[in-house]
A and B are shown apart, each in its own frame.
Chain A
Amino acid sequence: MIDKKNKTFRAGLIITGIMLLIIIIGAFWTPYDPNAMNGAAKWAKPSFEHLLGADNFGRDIFSRLVEGAGATFFIAAASVAIGLVIGLVIGGLTGWFGGWIDEVLMRIIDSITAFPSILLALVLIAILPSGKYNIILALGLLFIPSFARIVRMEVAKQKNLDYVRNAKLMGVSDMRILFVHILPNVVPVLLSTVAIGFNNAVLSEASMSYLGVGVQPPDPSLGRMLSEAQNYLLSAPWYALSVGIAIILLILGFGLLSEGLGGDGNA
């Protein structure tokens, strides 16, 4: 059982590791400038010169794919980070203090959850100008409730453990107990939620950019590229295929990681 979890975790680690490595290298160097148009290369087929061919503007698809995966990864990681940090604070305060703080903050959280999340994201994007940072903001907001709920429950549990009582008795201040003693103990419980959240973020970015409200042209992201590629499904099937595979690998890696971590904080 544990062995199987370990293997799943390791597979996730390898896939995610390779993707990350490519993305990091891509941040500094890609075979071509991802946005550089080259009339001569227009619709070039996959070759050693253009590993995945070139698109309708003669831009190198492989270079765009690497850069696009980086953009998607950044959006996903940043929005999960926003949800995580604010979720930790809100969940920590509500779980620790209870009472009216709990009532007020959790009602706000509930009201966020009451809307279908993609709808809420679209509304937010409609209010805000579209672009990378506003997607991050919108998605981050959507992630707050799930993190806050888990943290709140876990803090309420830890609050009654003897080490917390002991700290209280020693005269440690509430804030120090919460942020220095309890929250670090809550983080391991959140790891699998982080991985799931990351995958939701990748998919949401892809759908939003696909719908044209996300990352704006000419900048690539996996969602943007998918929407561009669909126009050429028949003439250049490798375009859509490679973008699809990149999305799948990104999600698969984190999915395996989260499954490997699932349920058992010690895994």
Chain B
Amino acid sequence: MLNIRNLRVKFHSTGKEAVKGISFDILPGERWGLVGESGSGKSVTAMAITGLIERSLVEMKGQVLFDGKDFLQCTRSQLRNIHGKDIGMVFQEPMTSLNPLMKVGKQIEETLKIHTDMSPEERKKLALEAMEQVGLPDPETTYNKYPHQLSGGQRQRAIIASAMIIRPKLLVCDEPTTALDVTVQKQILELLYDLSEKYGVAILLISHDLTVVRNLCENVAVMYKGEIVEQGSTEEIFRNPKDEYTQRLIAAIPKRKRHE
């Protein structure tokens, strides 16, 4: 479904390559983790996949194939059509990922407004359903609330609802739980797991925390300084890390967490 081939991203401003020729594939319904330390290029990779990277700022080489179509060759209007429908994204900062002046319900159904010709009533019905599915309390009331009236975890759920409402094939989550406290973190990860099981949506989970990835994803790619140094089944890599950097990452996990 998603095939990244030798992707390179170079910023004009610094002349540095943030992503240096990475390749990996995500099949329908697969859950992939992308781990690595800060600055290793995880977010840049995510932005390249979702097409959110400002094209005038970078030089991109290689291929980002989605169902055979190369994003790097698409115009913005072609991308607009694919993106909203097939790829959703969950961001790190729940404080800024919702429009502060727009009702939560309206934001959740925004995708439908653009990609379908549903009536407002139909849209609202689907929005309420989506809110129910992601575990937002009392959808009818929450629909009319503004983002500042929700907790961080609830906001993250609202974002997930807005991404899931159109049933995308891939959900890219860039550090979706980093800004949340531990119990809420766990709930959000469980939610992502349930959604992917139930609707077969593939997940690319970006995190610097190996244990988070291990709990959710059966596959993992380890990124270091713009390159993928190791990828494969999470269990296999945990049991038998080949790359020296991966070994260090695993060794850095506190013992009691390693066997969670």
A residues lining the B interface (CB < 8 Å): 98-99, 161-163, 165-173, 181, 184-185
Partner of A171, one of B56, B80, B96, B101: B80
B111 touches A171 (CB 8 A): yes
Please report the C-alpha to C-alpha distance between residue A146 and residue B11 in the assembled complex, in whole angstroms.
32
Partner of B52, one of A99, A165, A173, A181: A165
Contacts of A171 in B (CB 8 A): 80-81, 83-85, 111, 114-115
With both chains docked as a complex, state the minimum distance between the C-beta of B56 and any C-beta of chain A, in angstroms. Answer: 7
| Bound: A66/B102 CA distance, A | 41
Residues from chain B with Cβ under 8 Å of A98 in the complex: 56
Quote the shortest CB–CB distance from A265 to chain B (angstroms): 10
Could you list some 22 contacts between A and B, CB below 8 A?
Answer: A162-B91, A163-B99, A163-B100, A166-B91, A166-B97, A166-B159, A167-B99, A167-B110, A169-B50, A169-B83, A169-B88, A170-B110, A170-B114, A171-B83, A171-B111, A171-B114, A173-B80, A173-B114, A181-B99, A184-B101, A185-B100, A185-B101
Point out the residues of chain A lying under 8 angstroms from B56, CB to CB.
98-99
| Best-surrounded residue of B93, B96, B99, B114 (most CB of chain A within 10 A) | B99
Check if B89 is an interface residue, CB within 8 A of chain A.
yes
How many contacts A-B (CB < 8 Å)? 59
Asked if B221 is at the interface of the complex by the 8 Å CB criterion, the answer is no
For A164, the closest partner residue in chain B by CB is B99
Contact code string B98-126 (vs A, CB < 8 Å = 1, else 0): 11111000010011001100000000000
With A162-B93, A165-B91, A166-B89 given, is the CB distance from A172 to B98 under 8 Å?
no
* B residues in contact with A162, CB < 8 Å: 91-93, 96-97
> For chain B residues 133-153, which have a beta carbon within 8 Å of chain A?
none
A168 to B83, CA, bound (A): 9
Q: Cβ of A99: which chain B residues have Cβ within 8 Å of it? A: 56
**Is A163 a contact partner of B88 (Cβ separation < 8 A)?**
no
Alpha-carbon distance between A184 and B100 when the two chains are bound, in angstroms: 10
In the assembled complex, the Cα of A161 lies from the Cα of B85 at a distance in Å of 21
For residue A167, which residues in chain B have a CB less than 8 angstroms away from its CB?
99, 110
User: Can you add 8 more A-B contacts, CB < 8 Å, to A162-B97, A165-B89?
Assistant: A99-B56, A162-B96, A169-B51, A170-B84, A170-B110, A171-B84, A171-B111, A172-B114
> In the assembly, what is the distance between CA of A185 and CA of B51, in Å?
24
Chain B residue at smallest Cβ distance from A99: B56
Instruction: Say yes or no: is B162 at the interface (Cβ < 8 Å to chain A).
Output: yes
| Chain A residues positioned under 8 Å from B97 (CB to CB) | 161-163, 166
